[in-house]
Amino acid sequence: MDKNLAIKCSGLYKKYPLYSSDVERLKGLFLPFYKPQQFTALENINLEFKKGEIVGLIGLNGSGKSTLASIITGITYATEGTVEVDGDVNMLAANAGMDLQLTGVENIDYKCLLLGMSKKETAEIRNEIIDFADIGIYINQPMRTYSSGMRSRLGFAISVHMNPDILIIDEALAVGDNSFTDKCMVKMSEFKENGKTILFVSHSVAQMNDFCDRVIWLNKGKIVGEEVPSKIIMPYCGFAREFNSMTHEERAACNPVLTKYQEKYL
Amino acid sequence: MLNNVKTVLKENYDNRYRLIRLANYELKAQNNGTMFGFLWNFFNPILQILVYWFVFAIGLKSAAPQGKYPYIIWMIVGIMPWFYMSTALTTTGNSIYAYSGVLKRMYIPLSIVPIKSVLSALIAHFWSMLVVIGIIFASGYSISLYYFQTLYFTFASFILLCAYALFASAVVVVFRDFQKIMLSVIRLLFYITPIVWVQDNLPAELKFILKLNPFAYLIDGYRDSILYERNLMFHWKQGVFFWAFTIIFFIIGCNIHMKFRKQFIDLI
C-alpha cells in the first residue's frame, strides 16, 4: 500500500446469507454446496483514503454505509476483497460498551478498559472526559438514571478522547443539543489539524459540507460517485427527494448516476 | 491448523493486560451493588462449604477415605476446584454471545472474550482456595510444601478450560442449543467425577474408565497435593493422557474458533 494512504479497500463485497430458520443456518454453515438466498450489502467497493483526509459517506438507509464502516474498523469481515489499514482505527460509537448499572465515572473506566487502555492512561484522560461531557453531578450517578441525551454526551466524550489514527464516526453526532454538537465539531477540527484520518457517516449534509474534504455517495451497496462536497451533496439531496415520490417498483429499479443529478441540481 | 493456535495465543498474549483487567472486572461486576463487595469472594465459598458440610457430614454421615482427615476437609479440597471448573464451563459457552452488544460496535480481539471468562473464574478460585487452606490450618493440620503442587493442577485445568471455552463459545454462536445441552452434561459430570464420593470401592474396570476423565485427574491432583503429599508422578500415566487430550482439544478449540470468527458478528 502507498505510504500516503490510511485505508485502501479493493474489490470489497459483503453478502449476508438470509436464513429462514435455524436448521437452514446450520446447513449453510456445514454443507459446502448449500447456497441460501443472499443479500448483497456491498458490491465491488474500491476506495482509497489519504492520511489526514476527512471523508464523508452519504446514502439512504440500507445503502451499506455502516457495513462499510464496520468492515474498516475490523468489527465485521468482508466476504470478498481486501481492506488494508495503516494505524489504529476507532469507531466512535456513543452507546457501545456502556453498562447502565454503573455510574458515569465507572463507565469511563470500563470503556477505556474495553479499548485496552492502561490504568495510567485512563487516569490521565478521565477528568478531560468529565469536563467534555459536562453532565454535572450526574457523573457519579448510575447511568440508568440518565436521559438519552446525557448518555450520548458521555459516550461521545469518551470516544473522542481515545486518540486513534483513524476515526470513524457513524451517525454519532446526531445526538445532543446544538451547543454540544458545536463542541464536537471543534474537537473534530482539532483532529483534522492533527492530521488524523476521519471517515464521517452521517445524514446531516450541513455538517458534511462544512467539514469534509471529499464525499462518497453510496446507493444499494455501490458507489455512485465521489466528489468534493459542493459537487455531490446537492445532487444527492435532489435524489433523496425524488426517491420519496417514487413507487416501489421505481425504487427497486433506480440506479442513480452522479452526472445526471449534477446537471439537474447544480 | 497450528497457525490458528498461534493466532489465538498471540492475540491473548498481546492483549494480556486487557485480558486480566477484563477478567477482574467481570468478577467485580458480580458483586456490584452489594454492600460487602469484595468480601463476597470469601463469603461465597464459606457459605457453600457450610451447606455441604451440613448435608454430607451431619445429614448423611459420610465417611472419609483413608488418611488422617475428616470427610468434610477431604470433600472441600475436591469440591472447591470443581466449583471453579464448573463456573468456567457454564459461563464460557455464552461468553461471545453475551458480549454481542459490545462486539458489534467496538473492535475487540475475539479470542480474548472466552479466555477472560475462564480467567475470571480462576481469580475467584484463588480466593476460595485461600479459604480452604485457612480452614485446614484452623483445624490444626500443618501446611506442607506440597501445596505448591496445586499450582500445576490449576495451570492444567486452566488450559483444559480455555480449550473448552474457545470451542464452546464458537459453537454456541451458531448452535445455541449447545449451551443447554452442556448445562446438563456439566451436572452429570459432577456425579461421574469422584468429587463427593470415594472411588476406592469401585470395580477395577470402572476405575479405569474414571482415569480417562480429565476432571478426575485434576480433582485427584488437588487432593494428592493438599491431603496426601503425593507428587505428581504418582499419576503419571493419567497425566500423559490428560495432556494428550488437552492439547488436541486445545488445537480443535482454536481451529473451530478461527473457522467461525468471521461470521460471529453477523450471527449474534
Averaged pLDDT for residues B113-128 = 92
Which of A83, A256, A80 lies closest to A168, judged by CA? A83
- Nearest chain B Cα distance for residue A114, angstroms: 7
C-alpha cell at position B143: 501446611
What is the arrangement of strands in the sheet containing A197-201, beginning at the earlier edge strand? A89-92, A166-170, A197-201, A54-58, A214-219, A222-227
Q: Which of residues 51-80 of A touch B (CB under 8 A)?
A: 70, 73-77
Q: What is the pLDDT of residues B26-68, one digit of tens each?
A: 888 777 777 777 888 888 888 888 888 888 777 777 766 667 7
A106 confidence band (pLDDT: 50, 70, 90): confident
According to the model, what pLDDT value does residue B247 have?
A: 96
pLDDT confidence tier of residue B248, bands split at 50, 70 and 90:
very high
Chain A residues closer than 8 Å to B260 by CB: 29
Which residues of chain A neighbour B176 with C-beta distances below 8 Å?
A: 22
**Alpha carbon distance B221, B2 (integer Å):** 29
Nearest to B32 among A77, A101, A114 (CB): A101
The mean predicted confidence, pLDDT, of chain B is: 87
Q: Which residue has the higher pLDDT, A26 or A53?
A: A53
Please state the rounded mean pLDDT for residues A45-67. 89
Helix B2-14 crosses helix B236-267 at what angle (to 10 degrees)? 80
CB–CB contact A75 B105 (8 Å): yes
So what's the pLDDT on residue B115? Answer: 95
| Nearest residue, CB atoms, B106 vs list A77, A96, A102 | A96
Question: What letter would DSSP give residue B146?
Answer: G
In B, which residues are within 8 Å of A101 by CB distance? 32-33
Does the pLDDT value for residue A94 go beyond 70? no
The answer to whether the CB atoms of A76 and B265 lie below 8 A apart is yes
Complex prediction ipTM: 0.77
Residue among B18, B32, B260 whose CB faces A116 most closely = B18
Task: Judge contact between B230 and B67, C-beta under 8 A.
Answer: no
Residue A199 clears pLDDT 80, i.e. is over it = yes
Instruction: Find chain A residues with C-beta within 8 A of B265's C-beta.
Output: 70, 75-77
DSSP state of A171: S
- Using the predicted structure, report yes or no on whether residue A54 has a pLDDT greater than 70: yes
C-alpha cell at B203: 470395580
- Separation between Cα atoms, residue B179 and residue B169, nearest integer Å: 9
Instruction: Say yes or no to pLDDT of A176 above 70.
Output: no
Query: Which chain A residue has the Cα nearest residue B26?
Result: A110
Minimum distance, in Å, between the CA of residue A75 and any CA atom of chain B: 5
Domains identified in chain B, total number: 1
Q: Best mutation site among B102, B175, B262, B264 for testing chain A: the one with the most A CBs within 10 Å? A: B102
Pick from B103, B107, B263: CB nearest A89: B107
Query: Is pLDDT at B70 greater than 80 in this prediction?
Result: yes
- The closest CB to that of A75, out of B22, B176, B265, belongs to B265
- Cell match 454519532: residue? A172
Q: Which residues in chain A are closer than 8 Å to B30, comparing Cβ atoms?
A: none
Distance CA A191, CA A54 (A): 10
Check if A266 contacts B (Cβ < 8 Å). Answer: no
- E strand or H helix at B54: none
Q: Domain limits at B111?
A: 2-267
CA A11-A13-A17 angle, to 5 degrees, is 165
Q: What's the mean pLDDT when you consider all of chain A? A: 85
Predicted confidence band at B267 (pLDDT cuts at 50, 70, 90)?
confident
Q: Does A29 touch chain B (CB under 8 A)?
A: yes
**From the list B15, B33, B266, which residue is nearest A76 (CB)?**
B266
What was the pLDDT predicted at B90? 93
* pLDDT band at B180; cut points 50, 70, 90: very high
138-197 of A, contacting B, C-beta below 8 A: none
Q: Is A21 on the interface with B (CB under 8 A)?
A: no
Full-model pTM? 0.85
d(C-alpha A97, C-alpha A253), whole Å: 39
